[in-house]
């Protein structure tokens, strides 16, 4: 997984005509990854700027992964997990919620906009929600511009 986080720094599309964001999406195996799969199978149109990393639970997303990804140049990170009370491991998503609140505070300390990090609950049947979330998140990141680690503000 750390190699995938590392890769985010080298697989960006830096087009000459404009900024194309590098977005990392952590999806929980039981809900959000299935939701992402459903969105793909349903052929819903989504921006091509994100890379999905499947984790067994959103709580598997260590705050370290998020910080390392930002350090290596990710413009935005979305963590998607099961809805509250639907976690396959009973309470993993509650832990994630606590960590994300802390991380949002931490990333502001080194000049990142907190909206570069987002937590979303997406169930296996919510392919459309996944697509809408990705479109909205990509638009937000495009408005914010490149990450401060890549010369943005």
Classified as helix, coil or strand, 77 is strand
- Name which position in 51, 54, 95, 132 contacts another protein (CB under 8 A): 95
Residue 83 contacts residue 129 (beta carbons within 8 Å): no
Count, residues near another protein per rule CB under 8 A: 22
Determine, following the binding rule CB under 8 A, whether residue 99 of this chain makes contact with another protein. yes
> At a CB cut-off of 8 Å and minimum separation 6, what does 82 contact?
28, 30, 31, 32, 58, 88, 92, 93, 121, 123
Q: Which of 75, 64, 93 is nearest to 151 (CA)?
A: 75
Residue 113 contacts residue 78 (beta carbons within 8 Å): no
CB of 142 to another protein, least distance (A): 22
Q: For residues 51 and 150, which CB has a smaller minimum distance to another protein in the complex?
A: 150
Site string for another protein, 45-84 (x = CB under 8 A): -----------------xxx--xx-xx-------------
Residues of this chain that interact with another protein (CB under 8 A) are 62-64, 67-68, 70-71, 94-95, 98-99, 101-103, 105-107, 109-111, 148-149
């Amino acid at each position: 997984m750390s190699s995938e986080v590392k890769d985010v720094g080298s697989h960006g599309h830096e087009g000459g005509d404009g900024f194309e964001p590098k977005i990392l999406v952590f999806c929980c195996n039981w809900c959000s990854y299935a939701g992402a799969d459903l969105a793909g199978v349903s052929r819903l149109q989504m921006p091509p700027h994100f890379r999905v990393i499947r984790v067994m639970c959103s709580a598997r997303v260590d705050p370290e992964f998020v910080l390392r990804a930002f350090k290596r140049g990710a413009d935005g990170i979305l963590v998607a997990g099961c809805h509250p009370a639907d976690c396959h491991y009973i309470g993993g998503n509650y832990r994630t919620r606590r960590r994300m609140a802390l991380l949002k505070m931490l990333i502001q300390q080194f000049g990142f906009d907190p909206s570069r990090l987002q937590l979303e609950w997406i169930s296996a049947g919510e392919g459309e929600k996944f697509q809408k979330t990705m479109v909205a998140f990509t638009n937000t990141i495009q408005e914010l511009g490149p990450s401060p680690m890549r010369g943005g503000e």
